[in-house]
Amino acid sequence: MTEATTVPPATPPGALRDAFRNLAAEAFARAAETMAFVTAVPLDEPGDAPPDALRVSVRFGGPVAGKLELAAPEAFGAMLAANLLGPDGPPVADAAVDTLKELANVTCGVLLPELARRGPIGVGRFEMGVPCAGALGGGSAWSDFTAGGTVLDADGFKVAVRVSGAL
């Protein structure tokens, strides 16, 4: 897990992006741990794309505007749903996608106050949108996604997290 990140003012743009990337990874790890008892550890290399990868995004606005995005295999969402619902839980339609969207929602909610607190963007009111999910796509989609984000091992599943927008 990365150390707590604080960004001083007058920071070069590249360092700013790295700081936000670290904050996004920290937010995801905290959300996954508290929400579904999943431990997420950053990987050094993105490697190959996981099978059946989905892209989930949550837009936000306020002092800065952007998107929090996750790229994760649908099987990861299924595992999270099973953790949340338990062995005797009710059947839920599209539980895997539902849970990935909720994880993105929770991650964004954890991230935004940290952006305000530890990033050089000042105090302001953030607003979040509703999560959207779709296929990540093949080809270079995974490498393009991970180039601007962090790839983590989440209980054996490869998950990528990134923040994009006017940062």
Using the minimum distance from each CB to other proteins, give the nearer residue, 47 or 89. Answer: 89
Task: Please state the closest distance from residue 104 (CB atom) to other proteins, in A.
Answer: 10
Using the minimum distance from each CB to other proteins, give the nearer residue, 55 or 101. Answer: 101
Query: How far apart are alpha carbons 42 and 112 in whole angstroms?
Result: 20
Task: Please state the closest distance from residue 98 (CB atom) to other proteins, in A.
Answer: 5
Binding site for other proteins (CB under 8 A): 31, 34-35, 81, 84-86, 89-90, 92-95, 98-99, 101-102, 105-106, 108-110, 112-113, 116, 125-130
Using the minimum distance from each CB to other proteins, give the nearer residue, 130 or 166. Answer: 130
Q: How far does CA 40 lie from the centroid of its chain?
A: 11
Q: Which helix (H) or strand (E) holds 32?
A: helix 13-36
Contact 106, 80 (CB under 8 A): no
Q: Which residues pair with 162 in a beta bridge?
A: 69
Q: How far does CA 43 lie from the centroid of its chain?
A: 14
